[in-house]
Amino acid sequence: MTLGQALELEHRAIDGGIEAYIASLASADTADPAPLLAALSGLRRHIYLEEEFLFPPLKAAGLMGPIFVMLREHGQLWRQMDTLDALLASGADSTTRATALPCATPLALRTACTDLLSLLDAHNSKEEPIIYTQADELLGTTASGELLPFLAAGSTPDDWVCSGA
């Protein structure tokens, strides 16, 4: 499996976790946030891998413009994940409802998740054919071989935030 293929599979898993959570909102009084939390964690780790390991060599190889677009979109994704985190926190702790946090109604959660999926769709539709194809061609099997294990077991540092956030 190439690095691009592995990253695309991760895209599908992230989307699937968000979609599973949206489906649970419709079928339960209290939706289980576990699939959404796993998807958000996976997306943060995915962005970390790209910004710290994948994008620098691609930028050095001349893909400045496409990488700039990806970084900007990562910031949009990150801010939407922060919105979802705030919604989930407001639903878990009723005392936060008196603060500026939005109220975690099923409709608000569904809307925020749908907005994230829309951002992901637009982002992935550019990233997969442009960035991942170039990564597989430019980085070769050595670099791909180093990044694939990170996909399997790597984690995002607790204090790391994407460059566009």
Q: How far is Cα 52 from Cα 124, in angstroms, rounded to an integer? A: 18
Interaxial angle between packed helices 34-49 and 3-27, expressed in degrees from 0 to 180 and rounded to the nearest 10: 160
Q: CA 37 to CA 51: how far, in whole Å?
A: 21
Q: In one letter, which amino acid is 27?
A: S
pLDDT in tens, the chain (165 residues): 888 999 999 999 999 999 999 999 887 667 889 999 999 999 999 999 999 999 999 999 999 999 999 999 999 999 999 999 999 988 754 444 444 445 678 889 999 999 999 999 999 999 999 999 999 888 877 677 778 888 888 899 999 999 998
108: exposed, middle or buried (Cβ count in 10 Å: 0-12, 13-18, 19+)? middle
pLDDT score, position 123: 98
Residues 38, 69: Cα–Cα separation, whole Å? 26
CA separation (Å) from 119 to 22, 29, 114, 115? Answer: 16, 27, 9, 6
Q: Which helix (H) or strand (E) holds 98?
A: none
The rounded distance, in Å, linking the Cα atoms of 77 and 61 is: 25
For 63, the 3-state DSSP assignment is: coil
- Here the tokens at position 67 are 């990488």
pLDDT value of residue 141: 72
Q: Which two tokens stand for residue 146?
A: 């180093």
C-alpha span between 117 and 120 (Å, rounded): 5
Do 46 and 154 meet the contact criterion of CB atoms below 8 Å apart? no
| Sign of CA pseudo-dihedral 79, 80, 81, 85 | positive
